[in-house]
Structure 1
Amino acid sequence: MTDSTALPPVVDAATWRAELDKLRAREKAATRELDAIAAQRRRLPMVAMPDYTLIGADGPVRLADTFRGRSQLIVYNHMWADGQEWQCGGCTSYTSQFTRLDFLDNYDARFVIVTSGPIEEALAYREKVGNEMEWYSSSKSPFAADVDAAPNTGFGVNVFLRDPADDTVYRTWHTNGRGTEQLSYTFALVDVLPWGRQEQWQDSPAGWPQRPTYSGWLDSPDVARLYGRT
């Protein structure tokens, strides 16, 4: 629980409604801008990818086969440090939220995790933290480096399109850093709270609770305790 007595000012209903309407105008403008960005994204060109071989639970698998017959694939490149008990807390917490992905079937798409770590370690970690997505390893492939998520450098999201005529895979979109927030419901929920994320970098009224950035996030042991098998 946050220890703070900070409260927004109390006003009458008409004043509150007027202020909400002002904010709503900006929110609607942002929604229209996001629609325009999505339209531009749908018009991006794409680049053909090599015929990568990843490693799955059952052994080597072509990147094209990770689509499982679908045309579109979202890949989260999970940060990884070989041999470590706990992997990146941000990646672990972020991916733990994706528990029901079957709805993507209706959009001819899948969402999977690829990590540069050994597949045995990756699968054991997946079980430990209760992650439900399918994991693959790029430890025997330059795939991670080629999609801007080289080992020991960071994380990212990449989107691919498969041509069913010849199984050629094309890279269509990429983001990393805060760009991944748009795919997360966790930040969206926290951002509508009166105190927001309560992080020091945020523009908040005087007296609002604030703490070091990331300090409110679930770390990997927290995820395992809440959702995993430990």
Structure 2
Amino acid sequence: MNVTALPPVTDHETWQRELDALRVREKAATRELDAVAAQRRRLPMVELPEYTLTGAEGPVRLADVFQGRSQLITYHHMWFEGKQWHCPGCTGWTSQFTRLEFLDDYDARFVIVTQGPIDEALAYRAKVGNRMEWYSTAGGPFGADMGAPPAAGFAVNVFLRDGDTVYRTWHTDGRGTEQLGHFHGLIDVLPFGRQEDWQDVPDGWPQRPTYGHGNGPEEIARLYGPPNGG
């Protein structure tokens, strides 16, 4: 990257004063996020019919995807039928989740659901070195009912289980998924940020088209997949 501009250089006292002013806004944003989370915890929920997905071992009821836990998060991974590589954003974003066992202490799981057939989905998971557990909703209504129909976008859903009854408690898509990972948080504290053309930046800052950054699925496979692709 050719750097065409740099932040202004100043003395420590001026830098600290500017940082302190920014910190006021950062802390206000943190408190607002706390308030949003509190409102989320007070949301009502909707009872779902019984859904059947397909996992590595075959058909499985949605209630059993919980594997005995009471809470479940699903990331709905975009799938391009007949293609070798699937959504770059979904592939790259989900690659960050390599250690999810901490959710056991919160009585929860986090899994991927996709519209792709399970054998193809598991092969893609292996090819790109994804560490999450995958399920398929191919041929069933679950993905579409949860806001991620075939050949459409990605989504996150959250569910609560009471016995064999499953309730939908929360849903988001688009940029609403950013808060769930460290990917964007780390980039946003860098001096040049995401470098996307929609962002408010000083003159001369490097910018590219939206989604013009990040590793594509081929690069994810090279970095995290099996040696020599197999």
TM score, norm. by length of structure 1: 0.97
- Matched residue SS, 2:15: helix
Corresponding residue of 1:200: 197
Say which of 173, 182, 185 aligns to 1:185.
182
Corresponding residue of 1:64: 63
Determine the C-alpha separation between the residues in 1 that align with 2:182 and 2:18: 25
- Matched residue SS, 2:89: helix
C-alpha displacement of 1:141? 1.3
Determine the C-alpha separation between the residues in 2 that align with 1:105 and 1:220: 29
Determine the C-alpha separation between the residues in 1 that align with 2:12 and 2:129: 45
C-alpha displacement of 1:81? 1.7
Corresponding residue of 1:54: 53
Corresponding residue of 1:170: 167
Counterpart check, 1:23 vs 2:22? yes
Corresponding residue of 1:212: 209
- Give the gaps of 5 or more residues in structure 1: none
Tell me, yes or no, if the aligned pair for 1:75 and 1:114 is still in contact at 8 Å.
yes
C-alpha displacement of 1:5? 3.5
C-alpha displacement of 1:50? 1.0
Corresponding residue of 1:33: 32
Q: 1:198 is matched by which residue type in structure 2?
A: Q
C-alpha displacement of 1:211? 1.2
Q: 2:68 is matched by which residue type in structure 1?
A: G
- Matched residue SS, 1:73: strand
Counterpart check, 1:78 vs 2:77? yes
- Matched residue SS, 1:160: strand
TM score, norm. by length of structure 2: 0.97
Determine the C-alpha separation between the residues in 2 that align with 1:5 and 1:201: 18
C-alpha displacement of 1:14? 0.6
Tell me, yes or no, if the aligned pair for 1:82 and 1:118 is still in contact at 8 Å.
no
Q: Which runs of 4+ in 1 moved over 2 A?
A: none
Q: Which moved more, 1:28-37 or 1:197-206?
A: 197-206
Corresponding residue of 1:227: 224
- Matched residue SS, 2:186: helix
Corresponding residue of 2:131: 132
Identity among equivalent pairs (%)? 70
Tell me, yes or no, if the aligned pair for 1:149 and 1:155 is still in contact at 8 Å.
yes
Determine the C-alpha separation between the residues in 1 that align with 2:149 and 2:4: 45
Q: 1:74 is matched by which residue type in structure 2?
A: I
Tell me, yes or no, if the aligned pair for 1:56 and 1:119 is still in contact at 8 Å.
yes
Write the mapping of 1:106-145 to structure 2, written as runs, cut at 5 A. Answer: 106-145=105-144
Tell me, yes or no, if the aligned pair for 1:78 and 1:113 is still in contact at 8 Å.
yes
Determine the C-alpha separation between the residues in 1 that align with 2:209 and 2:179: 22
- Matched residue SS, 1:159: strand
Q: How many residue pairs get matched?
A: 227
Determine the C-alpha separation between the residues in 2 that align with 1:32 and 1:99: 29
- Matched residue SS, 2:166: strand
Deviations 1:188-225 (A, max 9, x none): 00100001011111100001111111111211101101
Determine the C-alpha separation between the residues in 2 that align with 1:121 and 1:204: 42
C-alpha displacement of 1:121? 0.2
Q: 2:219 is matched by which residue type in structure 1?
A: D
Determine the C-alpha separation between the residues in 2 that align with 1:193 and 1:126: 30
- Matched residue SS, 2:82: coil
- Matched residue SS, 2:112: strand
